[in-house]
Structure 1
Amino acid sequence: MSTINHIATPHHSEVPTAEGLRIGIAVSEWNSNITEPLLDGAKSVLRARGAEEITIFRVPGAFELVNASARLRAQGVDAVIAIGCVVRGDTAHFDYICQGVTSGISSLNAQLVRVEGKEDRYVPVIFGVLTTENMAQAEERAGGRLGNKGAEAAETALKMCRPICIIEK
């Protein structure tokens, strides 16, 4: 589904409360003109839903988001939001970074987390990394006409912390 169709469709479930949850946000400093508005969007949703504890972990670039996300999970957060922005350039660097970040975050989502004094559990790591062809596309997704993907990532984090599971017979 395209982004414009997604934001125009009213069939989404309610966003749960963030009360009592510890949320970590790993945010890349690279392309900060994009990642800072994404971070602001995420924090705005979390605060509006009652979050009292948000841990921000800043890293140099998108590739480092995987390590930061793993470290936040080890600190016992309930969810991690990885925020970054990779814009295609003239070399294959874009492809390598996007592949590495995607693979790393995907891998983290399938791993149990062991935190001393807590039961082993899966901690969601939300992919809030823009991968765009140009800066204009990134700007559209960082508070422009296509909304704020950081805010959407925060909503996803809350839904993954408190999922709605329905058993149909």
Structure 2
Amino acid sequence: MSGAGAPDLSGLDASRLRISVVAASWHDQVMDGLLAGATSALGEMGIAEPEVVRVPGSFELPVVARQLARLGRDAVIALGVVIRGGTPHFEYVSAATTDGLSRVALDTGVPIGFGLLTCDDEQQALDRAGLPDSSEDKGREAAEAAVATLLTLRGLRDH
């Protein structure tokens, strides 16, 4: 299982930051876990009620993340899941979403927490969703990474 060697990003302070979460709607159980992990992490960092914007699927994450960045959010956490099926759809959606989120971050300078699960099957997604029986919490990790990156960028700017 991946996750070994992950940095400890606990203890971050996001209380004065404007952070939004954009989350896909497919695969309710997985998405509920990812969203709970992200919002719990943000709560621990001082954002009691982060803005959450829902979109139909993962493919729609980049365009909404870009709009949130343009509207002045300090960081955006993007959450979604794409599960491999019997057609090339998985590869197209996974690549387009990943490339789109990377482009948003590079074009706007706004950190994007990458919480897109790309899994071979539903069990892999459940294992990473931050549910009680999950081995990983990728929603939490995406939120922590976005805030840590934002604080790093601000530190560089201030020097």
Query: Post-superposition shift, 1:130?
Result: 0.2
Q: Secondary structure of the residue that 1:70 maps to in structure 2? A: helix
Relative to structure 1, is the Cα distance of residues 33 and 77 closer, same or farther in structure 2, using a 3 angstrom cutoff? Answer: same
Aligned to 2:33: 37
Query: Post-superposition shift, 1:54?
Result: 1.6
Q: CA RMSD in A?
A: 1.9
**In structure 2, distance between residues paired with 1:100 and 1:126:** 16
Letter in 1 for 2:142: A
Aligned to 1:131: 118
**Could you tell me which of 129, 142, 152 is aligned with 1:142?**
129
Equivalence map 1:59-98=2 (5 Å): 59-98=55-94
Aligned to 2:47: 51
Aligned to 2:5: 6
Calculate the TM-score normalised by the size of structure 1: 0.83
**In structure 2, distance between residues paired with 1:104 and 1:70:** 9
- The yes-or-no answer on 1:104 pairing with 2:100 is yes
More helix per residue: 2
Calculate the TM-score normalised by the size of structure 2: 0.88
Tell me the number of residue pairs that the alignment of Structure 1 and Structure 2 aligns.
153
Query: Post-superposition shift, 1:145?
Result: 3.7
Relative to structure 1, is the Cα distance of residues 133 and 102 closer, same or farther in structure 2, using a 3 angstrom cutoff? Answer: same
Q: Secondary structure of the residue that 2:152 maps to in structure 1? A: coil
Which string of whole-angstrom CA distances, capped at 9 and with x for unpartnered residues, describes residues 65-106 of structure 1? 011101111111110010000000010000000010011011
| Preserved CA contact (<8 Å) 2:10 2:144 | no
Give me the identity figure in percent: 37
| Preserved CA contact (<8 Å) 2:34 2:137 | yes
**In structure 1, distance between residues paired with 2:31 and 2:9:** 26
**In structure 1, distance between residues paired with 2:11 and 2:75:** 15
- Deviation >3 Å, runs of 4+: 11-15
- The yes-or-no answer on 1:21 pairing with 2:17 is yes
Unmatched 5+ stretches in structure 1: 113-121
Query: Post-superposition shift, 1:146?
Result: 2.2
**In structure 1, distance between residues paired with 2:3 and 2:49:** 32
Query: Post-superposition shift, 1:31?
Result: 1.1
**In structure 2, distance between residues paired with 1:13 and 1:79:** 16
- Decide which structure has the larger Cα Rg and report it: 1
| Preserved CA contact (<8 Å) 1:24 1:81 | yes
| Preserved CA contact (<8 Å) 2:9 2:144 | no
